[in-house]
Amino acid sequence: MPIETEIKLRIPEPLKEPAQVILAKNFRFFGKFVEEVVFFEIPDYAKDDLSTFRVKEITACADGHKYCSVNTKGFDRGENGILERTENQFQSNGGFCKILSMMEILGHKEVLRYTKIRDSWSDGVKTIHGFGRFDPGTFPDGSFKVELDFIPKLGTFLEIETSDMSSRSMERIIRDLNLEGLEIVDKSYYELIKEREKD
């Protein structure tokens, strides 16, 4: 089963533009995307294995092309702010509304919905569908992708995902990008939004 490993940094508003400049100097830009993310209640039979169950519609801002993904993730087992969890994903071109309708028919209850605006960057290795998303298991050693996310009411975050997710390698990447001192966020966007709703 594919493993997702990443680290997430909170980007204060005054540092958003400087962060974009740093990324532009160091990485290949794939484009800007708008993601409509819908979370569903996890079925009873999977509650011991899954932390999230979601459907996403991803739209490329450059040409309006859309694709949809159904995604599940396991529980985090990483350390030192690094998120490490199993991930399964099915993708298709379009069909977002149909998949949501199918979820409802099958009895899955929607529990959360939010919009994410994402700028996607990488060091230029293989992607799928041209969306800057890495095919699971195809990372050459040391390669990584960087994504700058803006989520209304939460703010801006930088996600780094790589094939070599040791604390030492992540410290090197963060240092090379001059991003030392930023807050490391060890929670998913789902967890952050649910916490905000409680406040």
Could you report the per-residue pLDDT of 121-177, keeping only the tens digit for each? Answer: 877 554 433 334 434 334 444 467 889 999 998 999 999 886 555 566 677 778 878
A 10 A CB-CB count for 30 gives 21
**What mean pLDDT is predicted for residues 27-34?**
88
Residue 72's DSSP bridge partners are 53, 88
For residue 21, give every residue at least 6 positions away whose Cβ sits within 8 Å of its Cβ, in sequence order, or none: none
**What mean pLDDT is predicted for residues 84-96?**
82
C-alpha–C-alpha distance, residues 30 and 47, integer Å? 35
Over the chain, what is the mean pLDDT?
82
Give the closest residue to 55 by CA, choosing from 33, 37, 43: 37
Q: Which CATH class is domain 3-198?
A: mainly beta
pTM of the model: 0.84
For residue 143, give every residue at least 6 positions away whose Cβ sits within 8 Å of its Cβ, in sequence order, or none: 122, 123, 125, 162, 163
Give the pLDDT score at 50.
86
A 10 A CB-CB count for 122 gives 21
Most confident option among 40-49, 91-100, 108-117: 108-117
Structure tokens at 41: 């209640």
C-alpha–C-alpha distance, residues 165 and 160, integer Å? 9
Predicted confidence (pLDDT) at residue 65 exceeds the cutoff of 60: yes
A 10 A CB-CB count for 32 gives 14
Give the pLDDT score at 74.
87
